[in-house]
C-alpha cells in the first residue's frame, strides 16, 4: 500500500494534523461544525463533561460527553476553502495511520452535522426558523478538484440551474446532497430545501454596498428558479463543500440552517443569538434521541 507523503498530509511534531492540531483520539464519530470559533462553547456548554479543548487559527475543537454520547464540536471558519481543510483532516484522523502514513483497511464514517446561519430567498420562510439542506448548489469551484459523481436528480437540477443563471455569471456550479439516512435520523418534521453555497458574502450573494455588483439579476434568478417543482430556499457559504467532500470520503453530512435573514422581505432576526441557541438545543436533542433508541 502506498504511503502518503509528508507534503500531501502534513503532521505537526506531536503527530497531530497540521491545521486542526488534533490527534485521532481527540475526535468523536459525531462531529458538529460551526463557522464561528466563539460558537463552539455555545454547544459544549451543554456537555456533561469535556475532555478536549484545542485551538489553532480559526479552528477550535471541544470534545466531550452528553450522557454516554461522545461528541465533537469544531469551528470551520467561513467558506468552502476552509471546508477543504477541515473535511480532509477529519478524514485523515480516522482513516489514515499517522505512523505508517497508510490508509486504514477498515474505514470509518463520521456523522458531520453543520449548524450555521443563513438567509432565506423565499418570502414564506420565516426569520428565526430552522431549515435543513436537502441539496446544495456550490457557486465556488471546490468540488471540481475532486472526482465525484452525480445521480440523475442532481444532474437534472444542475442543468436547470445553469440554464437559469444570468449570462454575466461565467461559473461552473456543482451539486451535492445530504444522505437520506441521516436526514431521516435527525431532520424529521423540519422543512428541507435547496441551498446555495456562495464563494462570498456580498456580491456573490447579490449584495451591493459600495463596490458595484457585476452580475445583475442574480438574486432574482435564484429566487425565481424552479426544477421539478423544487425551489432554492436559502444562501450560505459552506454546505455544498461539506456535502460534496463528505460523499467523496464516505462520511454522512447534514446542514441545519438558522434563518437569520429573509432577503426577499428584507427582515433580519431581532434575537439572533437566541435563534442559534434554540437550533443547537434542537439538534442536540435529536442526536440524543437516536442515541437512546
How far is residue 123's CA from residue 121's CA, in Å, rounded to a whole number? Answer: 7
Cβ–Cβ < 8 Å for 119, 235 = yes
- What pLDDT is attached to residue 210? 94
Residue 228 in any domain: the answer is yes
Per-residue pLDDT of 25-71, as tens digits, reads 999 999 999 999 999 999 999 999 999 999 999 999 999 999 999 99
Residue 179 in any domain: the answer is yes
Residue 95 in any domain: the answer is yes
What CATH number does residue 35 fall under?
3.40.50.1580
Backbone angles phi, psi at 220, to 5 degrees: -65, -45
Residue 267 in any domain: the answer is yes
Range of the domain at 110: 24-292
From 193, 249, 201, 179, select the one nearest 80 (Cα to Cα): 201
Residue 207 in any domain: the answer is yes
- What pLDDT is attached to residue 170? 87
- What pLDDT is attached to residue 195? 98
Report the relative pairing of strands 226-227 and 230-236 from DSSP bridges: antiparallel
The total domain count for the chain is: 1
Residues of the chain with pLDDT under 70: 1, 293
Residue 195 in any domain: the answer is yes
Residue 69 in any domain: the answer is yes
Residue 7 in any domain: the answer is no
- Residues whose CB falls within 8 Å of the CB of residue 186, separated by 6 or more in sequence, listed in order: 113, 254, 283, 286, 287, 290
Cβ–Cβ < 8 Å for 191, 122 = no
Amino acid at each position: 500500500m502506498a504511503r502518503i507523503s509528508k507534503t500531501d498530509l502534513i503532521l505537526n511534531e506531536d503527530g497531530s494534523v497540521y491545521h486542526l492540531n488534533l490527534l485521532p483520539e481527540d475526535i468523536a464519530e459525531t462531529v458538529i461544525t460551526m463557522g464561528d470559533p466563539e460558537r463552539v462553547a455555545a454547544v459544549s456548554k451543554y456537555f456533561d463533561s469535556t475532555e478536549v479543548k484545542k485551538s489553532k487559527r480559526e479552528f477550535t475543537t471541544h470534545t466531550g460527553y452528553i450522557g454516554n454520547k461522545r461528541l465533537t464540536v469544531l469551528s470551520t471558519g467561513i467558506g468552502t476553502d476552509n471546508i477543504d481543510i477541515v473535511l480532509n483532516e477529519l478524514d485523515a484522523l480516522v482513516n489514515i495511520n499517522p505512523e505508517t502514513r497508510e490508509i486504514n483497511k477498515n474505514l470509518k464514517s463520521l456523522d458531520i452535522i453543520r449548524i450555521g446561519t443563513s438567509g432565506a430567498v423565499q418570502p414564506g420562510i420565516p426569520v428565526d426558523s430552522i431549515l435543513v439542506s436537502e441539496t446544495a448548489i456550490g457557486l465556488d469551484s471546490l468540488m471540481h478538484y475532486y472526482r465525484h459523481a452525480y445521480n440523475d436528480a442532481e444532474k437534472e437540477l444542475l442543468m436547470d440551474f445553469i440554464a437559469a443563471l444570468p449570462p454575466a455569471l461565467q461559473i461552473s456550479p456543482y451539486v451535492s446532497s445530504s444522505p437520506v439516512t441521516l436526514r431521516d435520523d435527525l431532520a424529521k418534521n423540519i422543512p428541507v430545501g435547496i441551498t446555495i453555497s456562495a464563494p462570498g458574502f456580498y456580491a456573490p450573494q447579490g449584495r451591493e454596498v459600495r463596490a458595484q455588483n457585476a452580475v445583475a439579476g442574480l438574486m432574482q434568478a435564484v429566487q425565481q428558479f424552479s426544477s421539478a417543482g423544487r425551489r432554492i430556499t436559502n444562501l450560505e457559504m459552506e454546505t455544498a463543500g461539506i456535502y460534496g467532500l463528505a460523499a467523496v470520503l464516505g462520511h454522512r453530512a447534514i446542514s441545519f440552517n438558522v434563518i437569520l435573514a429573509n432577503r426577499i422581505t428584507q427582515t433580519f432576526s431581532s434575537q439572533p443569538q437566541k435563534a442559534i441557541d434554540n437550533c443547537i438545543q434542537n439538534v442536540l436533542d435529536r442526536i440524543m434521541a437516536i442515541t437512546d433508541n
